[in-house]
Amino acid sequence: MQKLRVSYVAGVTPGKWMDRFVERYPDVELVAARYDQGDILQLLADDTADAVFVRYGSTSPKDTTRHVIPLYEELEVVCAAKDHDVEYYEEDIPASVVQTFPQLDLADYPEEVGGIPTAMEVIASGAQVARMPQSIARLFHRKDVIYRVIADGNPTQVGIAWPTAMEDTALVDEFIGIVRGRSANSSRQASVRAGEQQAKKVNDKQKAKTKAKAQEAAKKAKQQAKSKARSAGSKPRKRR
C-alpha cells in the first residue's frame, strides 16, 4: 500500500486538505502529525516525512536539498494578559508601543519545559508580552490572555516543502495540487497529466497505425495499377 507522510508546524490546520486527499486517493495511507520538537525541515533530511508545512520569515528555506512553495502569509500579533495596556487598543497596535513592554521569547520555552502553553501562563501573569504569528495565538488561546495585531509587524510565511532528491514525487505533487486548490480534474494535477499523456500515447499509436495502413493500401494500389498497366501493354494488337 502506498503511503504519504506529512508533518506540520503548530498553527497550520491542514485537515481539509488531508480529507480531500483521502477522498481522492482512498488506497493511499496518509500519515499526518503535528511537529513541535524543533526544526521541522529536519524531518525531510532524516527521511521521516515526505512533505512538511513549514513556517518561515522573509527568507525562504528553499535550497538544493528541498523545494519550498509559499502558500499564505500570517499576521504578527502581540499576546498579553487580560487588562494589560495592550487591551486598550481595539484593533491593532503599533510595533513601537509593543517594544516598550517586557518581552517574552518563545524560543526560551521548548517542548521539554512545557512549550507554548507554559509561555502563555507567564504571559497571563502579566509579567511579559510575546510576539507570535496570529495562528499560534489562536491555537493556544486562553481566557486570561488577549492579543492584538501589530500594525507594522513582521508577517510570517507558511509553505510546503519536500526533498529535491525524492525519486517518486507523484503523491506529493497530488497533495500540493489539493493544497493549492486544484480540482480533481485540473490539467495541472499529476494524475490528470499522466492520464492525458497516456491517452495521447494511445491516440498517437492509433494514428500511426491508421497512417501505416493507409500507406500500405496506397502502395498496394499503386503496385496493382502498375501490374495492370504492364499487362495491358503486353497484349497483341488486333489486326485490321
pLDDT tens-digit series, residues 46-61? 999 999 999 999 999 9
Q: Is the pLDDT of residue 215 over 60?
A: yes
Q: Which three cell numbers stand for residue 70?
A: 509559499
**DSSP designation for 63:** B
| Cα distance between residue 3 and residue 182, in whole Å | 21
Other CB atoms within a 10 A radius of the CB of residue 210 amount to: 10
What average pLDDT does this structure show over 11-17? 95
Range scoring the smallest mean pLDDT among 45-54, 84-93, 133-142, 185-194: 185-194
Q: Is the pLDDT of residue 193 over 50?
A: no
Q: Is the pLDDT of residue 174 over 50?
A: yes
| Cα distance between residue 11 and residue 137, in whole Å | 8
Q: Is the pLDDT of residue 148 over 50?
A: yes
- In this prediction, residue 197 carries a pLDDT of 54
Q: pTM for this one? A: 0.74
- In this prediction, residue 1 carries a pLDDT of 81
**Is the pLDDT higher at 211 or at 55?**
55
What average pLDDT does this structure show over 85-92? 94
- In this prediction, residue 123 carries a pLDDT of 98
Q: Which three cell numbers stand for residue 226?
A: 502498375
What average pLDDT does this structure show over 94-110? 96
- In this prediction, residue 14 carries a pLDDT of 95
- In this prediction, residue 223 carries a pLDDT of 79
Spatial strand order of the sheet with 76-81 comes to 92-93, 145-150, 76-81, 130-133
**Is the pLDDT higher at 162 or at 185?**
162
CA-closest candidate to residue 127, choices 110, 151, 108? 108
From the number of C-beta atoms within 10 Å of its C-beta (0-12, 13-18, 19+), residue 126 rates as middle
CA-closest candidate to residue 131, choices 111, 107, 112? 107
The rounded percent of the chain whose pLDDT value lies above 70 is 87
What average pLDDT does this structure show over 149-165? 96
pLDDT tens-digit series, residues 219-236? 787 777 777 777 776 555
| Cα distance between residue 105 and residue 88, in whole Å | 23
Mean pLDDT (the chain, rounded): 88
Q: Which three cell numbers stand for residue 18?
A: 488531508
